[in-house]
């Protein structure tokens, strides 16, 4: 996946023709799951579970299978430990992490995506596959246990409010002391820039939206930027799009 891990749990934006695997994910400590907000899309709605199950049930891969490049750049220097891959999709990121020694929990809304990811992991790297646990969850109803992982990776998880803010807070809470939070997504500004995003404004977010979930004390923000990259343009050639990239480390 060159820009491959974009999914959407109830709005996680998939497939912009830029290669990212868009995702489905979830997050919240056991026993503290938020109720589905009034008016939140039902599973049968566009970008709901039924939509993603249908998409991932199609033959072959929906995405390139490669890890998201921002994950590779930002996670490569980290010491392997426990990692939560939020919206794991077809497993490109999870497989890459496991191959480098990480013990991975891959979470996705669609069971079809998880089944495909598990089969691909076993085929590509049996040893790495043994370090991956796959779980189906809806991020509107579930969150990871607090301080349970050394890295949280949320790559292109696009959810509407108020679920998005709840998710960001749950992901921050899941990071263990000394661990890292990495959130990447399509920048809200791309909608106005004519970059060909077919997401909806309510699903996009900004750097400040992510930072609002990071406490002022006990955390060091290492990266907080709208990062430019080139992708194929619909009319030919390339165009510039921007990704929100926030990386923060929790004090030991």
More confident residue, 135 or 198: 135
Is it the case that residue 197 has pLDDT exceeding 50?
A: yes
Total domains in the fold of the chain: 1
Give, for 231, the enclosing helix (H) or strand (E): strand 219-232
What pLDDT sits at residue 13? Answer: 34
Residue in the structure block whose two tokens are 């023709």? 17
Mean pLDDT in residue range 189-210: 76
Does the residue 14 lie in any domain? no
Does the residue 44 lie in any domain? no
What pLDDT sits at residue 229? Answer: 87
| pLDDT per residue as tens digits for the range 202-240 | 888 999 999 999 998 999 999 999 999 887 777 788 888
Does the residue 90 lie in any domain? yes
Is it the case that residue 250 has pLDDT exceeding 70?
A: yes
Are 73 and 153 in contact by the 8 Å Cβ rule? The answer is no
The closest of 91, 215, 87, 79 to 144, measured between CA atoms, is 87
Q: Given pLDDT bands bounded at 50, 70 and 90, which one contains residue 196?
A: low
Does the residue 10 lie in any domain? no
What pLDDT sits at residue 195? Answer: 52
Mean of pLDDT over the chain: 81
Is it the case that residue 178 has pLDDT exceeding 80?
A: yes
Is it the case that residue 25 has pLDDT exceeding 50?
A: no
Are 118 and 144 in contact by the 8 Å Cβ rule? The answer is no
Does the residue 103 lie in any domain? yes
d(CA 245, CA 237): 25
Q: Which tokens go with 187?
A: 């920048």
Mean pLDDT in residue range 45-72: 79
Does the residue 132 lie in any domain? yes
Mean pLDDT in residue range 104-109: 96
The residue length of the chain stands at 252
d(CA 49, CA 116): 16
Contacts of 150 (CB under 8 A, 6+ apart): 78, 79, 81, 82, 83, 175, 176, 178, 179, 180
| pLDDT per residue as tens digits for the range 33-54 | 333 333 333 433 556 788 778 8
Domain that holds residue 223: 49-250
Which phi-psi region, left, alpha or beta, contains residue 56 (left: φ > 0; alpha: ψ -120 to 50)? Answer: alpha
Q: Given pLDDT bands bounded at 50, 70 and 90, which one contains residue 191?
A: confident
Does the residue 131 lie in any domain? yes
Mean pLDDT in residue range 121-141: 96
Does the residue 85 lie in any domain? yes
Q: What is the CATH number of the domain that holds 147?
A: 3.40.50.150
Give, for 86, the enclosing helix (H) or strand (E): strand 82-86
What pLDDT sits at residue 235? Answer: 76
CA 188 distance to own-chain centroid: 16
Q: What sign for the dihedral angle of Cα 75, 89, 165, 176?
A: negative
What is this structure's pTM?
0.82
The number of helix segments (H) and strand segments (E) in the chain equals: 8, 7
Is it the case that residue 57 has pLDDT exceeding 90?
A: no
Q: Calculate Rg over the CA atoms of the chain.
A: 16
Is it the case that residue 5 has pLDDT exceeding 50?
A: no
SS3 content of the chain, % helix, strand, coil (to 5): 25, 25, 45
Pairing state of beta strands 132-136 and 149-155?
Answer: unpaired
What pLDDT sits at residue 121? Answer: 97
Instruction: State the angle between helix axes of 111-124 and 49-56 in degrees (0 to 180), rounded to the nearest 10.
Output: 30
Is it the case that residue 126 has pLDDT exceeding 70?
A: yes
Q: What sign for the dihedral angle of Cα 176, 174, 99, 184?
A: negative
């Amino acid at each position: 996946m060159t820009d491959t891990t974009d999914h959407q749990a109830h709005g996680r934006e998939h497939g912009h023709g830029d290669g990212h695997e868009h995702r489905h994910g979830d997050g919240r400590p056991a026993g503290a799951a938020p109720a589905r907000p009034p008016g939140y899309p039902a599973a049968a709605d566009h970008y709901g579970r039924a939509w993603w199950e249908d998409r991932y049930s199609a033959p072959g891969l929906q995405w390139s299978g490669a890890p998201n490049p921002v994950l590779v750049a930002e996670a490569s220097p980290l010491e392997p430990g426990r990692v939560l891959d939020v919206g794991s999709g077809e497993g490109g990121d999870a497989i890459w992490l496991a191959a480098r020694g990480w013990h991975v929990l891959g979470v996705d809304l669609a069971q079809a995506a998880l089944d495909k990811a598990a089969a691909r992991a076993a085929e590509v790297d049996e040893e790495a596959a043994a370090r991956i646990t796959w779980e189906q969850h809806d991020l509107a109803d579930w969150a990871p246990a607090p301080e349970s992982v050394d890295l949280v990776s949320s790559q292109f998880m696009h959810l509407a409010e108020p679920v998005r803010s709840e998710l960001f807070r749950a992901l921050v809470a899941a990071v263990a002391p000394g661990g890292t939070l990495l959130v990447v997504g399509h920048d809200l500004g791309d909608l106005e820039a004519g970059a060909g995003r077919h997401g909806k404004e309510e699903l996009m977010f900004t750097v400040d939206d992510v930072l609002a979930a990071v406490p002022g004390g006990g955390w060091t923000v290492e990266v907080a930027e709208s990062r430019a990259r080139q992708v194929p343009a619909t009319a030919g050639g390339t165009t510039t799009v921007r990704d929100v990239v926030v990386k923060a480390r929790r004090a030991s």
